[in-house]
Amino acid sequence: MKKLLTLFAALVFSGAAAATEQKEVLNNWFALGSGCRARHDLAGDVKLEKFQEKKDDSEVYGAKIYFEKFQLSSDTPSLRSPLLYGKECSVRININPPPGKRLKRLIAVSNVAASKNADSDLLLNGELKLGTLSLGNERLEYEKARVLDREVSPIFIDTQLAKLKGTEEMPVLGCGEAKIIGFDFTFVSQRETEQSKFKAELADGNPLEIRAELENCL
């Protein structure tokens, strides 16, 4: 999967070196994995909406990413014995800060809903990345014997909280330095029998929201 992502990113973002010449701060993007497939110039089961906000001393460029089919359930074909199941979806977005601006902070926000009976478990993980650097992950583990009925839990990663959470800190980037923002969803479950039931998905169709805060650097 990592090799496929690297190859796909190289194709989609082949113009990243000249990204500062492009008008859009957020432009090329793709979603790829066993649970999703789409890109900016090719329709698929993932939709991306961009937005922009201005503050006194910074600007926020964001993306709301809607996953139409990404979920893991007991109807999913198993990966291998003994009754192990998994789905993943990786999103990559090219960001091109304009002259005099640089990327300062990243935030990723979403909500996941989990249901299961007492003889299956669930592991739901979200990871925020900048290039190949991991900037934090949110890991939700639901053990066997615990029964869930659409329990909604937040996914929230903020690079400004890196020191508190002991994760990798946001690097200091150059003025106008183009980067690739990434987010990886991984849902995994193991059940005891084929009659065991479970389901994990983004809650009520809500999107994954990624916010990129830019600051002045001149």
pLDDT at 167: 83
Query: Is the pLDDT at 93 greater than 80, yes or no?
Result: yes
Question: How much is the pLDDT for 56?
Answer: 78
Residue 82: per-residue pLDDT: 73
Peptide linkage before 77 cis (omega within 30 of 0) = no
Q: List pLDDT tens digits, range 40-80.
A: 999 999 999 999 999 878 899 999 999 999 999 999 988 77
Does 15 have pLDDT greater than 80?
A: no
Amino acid at 154: P
Residues 6 or more apart whose CB falls under 8 angstroms from that of 44 comprise 31, 36, 37, 38
CB of 53 within 8 A of CB of 194?
no
Query: Which segments of the chain are extended strands (E)?
Result: 26-33, 36-39, 46-54, 58-67, 71-73, 84-95, 101-116, 120-130, 133-142, 148-158, 179-191, 198-202, 208-216
pLDDT tens by residue, 125-139:
999 999 999 999 999
Position 2 pLDDT exceeds 50: yes
Q: Is the dihedral of CA 129, 14, 32, 29 positive or negative?
A: positive
Task: Dump pLDDT digits (tens) for 95-133.
Answer: 999 999 999 999 999 999 999 999 999 999 999 999 999
Parent domain of 81: 2-216
What's the domain count of the chain?
1
Tens-digit pLDDT profile for residues 149-204: 999 999 999 999 987 788 889 999 999 999 999 999 999 999 999 889 999 999 98
How many Å apart are CA 133 and CA 181, to the nearest integer? 10
According to DSSP H, which parts of the chain are helical? 2-12, 162-165
Residue 169's DSSP bridge partners are none
